Amino acid sequence: MNKKILFLILLIFLQACSSQTHQEQRVLSQSPKEIVSDSKERTDIQSTSQELSPEKTTNTVIITAEGFTPRTITVNDGEDVTWINKDSQEHWPASAVHPLHNNYPEPGGCVGSKFDACKGLTTNGQFVFTFAQRGEWFYHDHLHPANTGSVIVR
């Protein structure tokens, strides 16, 4: 009699355990789908924000053997300008006046001001500079000083 009751309790316990594992398994098999759909939503949000981001203007000056294009670029105070070398030869944007490079009023860089690539840019090489001073800043190509340009910061 006692053994029968024990056996019954054991049986009930085992059943309860197995049904619990079933539920757990179901939860486990469901959750990856939830994760997938969740990450899909996240990528949707990301792609939407990427579509909205072109509000930020990119100020780019292309360097070729002929010089800087555009020769004069106008940007807002605090914006970046990116120079990209599209020539096979190296080019080195730097503040006027060659060879002092000291027209731009922020100290630093390697010669006379912070506005200086400090090296020749190789093909597809880039130089990014943030303009924090208003004015028209003339610059040149230190390796081809006849090539000049200017940045108007308003």
Which residues of the chain form contacts with Cu ion (CB under 5 A)?
98-99, 142
135/145 with CB nearer Cu ion? 145
What is the closest distance, in whole angstroms, from the C-beta atom of residue 95 to Cu ion in the complex? 8
79/140 with CB nearer Cu ion? 140
* Beta strands in 42-79, from DSSP E residues, in sequence order: 60-64, 67-69, 72-75
What is the closest distance, in whole angstroms, from the C-beta atom of residue 109 to Cu ion in the complex? 11
DSSP-based three-state secondary structure for 36:
helix
Take residue 48 and report the two structure tokens written for it: 């939407």
Q: d(Cα 29, Cα 112) in Å, to the nearest integer?
A: 65
Q: 117 and 92 in contact (C-beta within 8 Å)? A: yes
62/118 with CB nearer Cu ion? 118
What is the closest distance, in whole angstroms, from the C-beta atom of residue 68 to Cu ion in the complex? 14
